[in-house]
Amino acid sequence: MNEKVLQAELQSKVKKTLSPLFLKYHLNFSNLDAILKWRPIVLVIGNYSSGKSTLINELLGQDIQRTGQAPTDDSFTIITAGVAGEEAREIPGSTLVNDDTLPFGGFKKFGERFMSHFLMKKMENPVLENMAIIDSPGMLDSVTEKDRGYDYMAVLGEMANLADLIVLMFDPHKAGTIKETYTAIRSTLPEKSGEDRIIFVMSRVDE
């Protein structure tokens, strides 16, 4: 039995088992096929300048994401493997939410403003062959939906719901917990994800 046949059979069995539970608890399983067919997702979240992008760059051995002490990236960026031999490329959010082979169709409801802060980077990298990493905008204090232009916590919740692993990063040199981080830990993540999927990472521990 080849890998594709095995994958198809596993997906069929999982869907057959899960669909009744989704119906029982009034959950939307229309996107279940795309979720099962795609690759495992690691979501990296945390305060601004907590080391999210630095961690990703170190893991991949490439300078993929911008880094800095001030907030440097305000987009949800999916980083995954591209086609062998092709140059690295970016795919805009408007394309991602309309691609039925990807599990991101549900993000269309967050509107054009969100989609302008949502993209995918595809590149050759052995680490990405069987997984995808999502880098997220740094969490801020005293920021509102009006400031961002979309409901950040709702988007974060949907991302957490998709993720197989969530890496929540902290910088021990920055005292206190930022408002958005507090909301994520107390409300968003418990509602959308299980504790077994969350890893807490303390950055800059060698300083």
- Tokens representing 91? 């795919």
Q: What is the mean pLDDT of residues 178-187?
A: 74
Q: Does domain 39-202 have CATH number 3.40.50.300?
A: yes
Residue 95: pLDDT band with limits 50, 70, 90 = very high
Q: What is the mean pLDDT of residues 15-22?
A: 79
Model pTM score: 0.79
Left (φ > 0), alpha (ψ -120 to 50) or beta: where does 177 sit?
A: beta
Residue 117 in this model has a pLDDT that exceeds 90 = yes
Contact yes or no for 52/168 (Cβ under 8 A): no
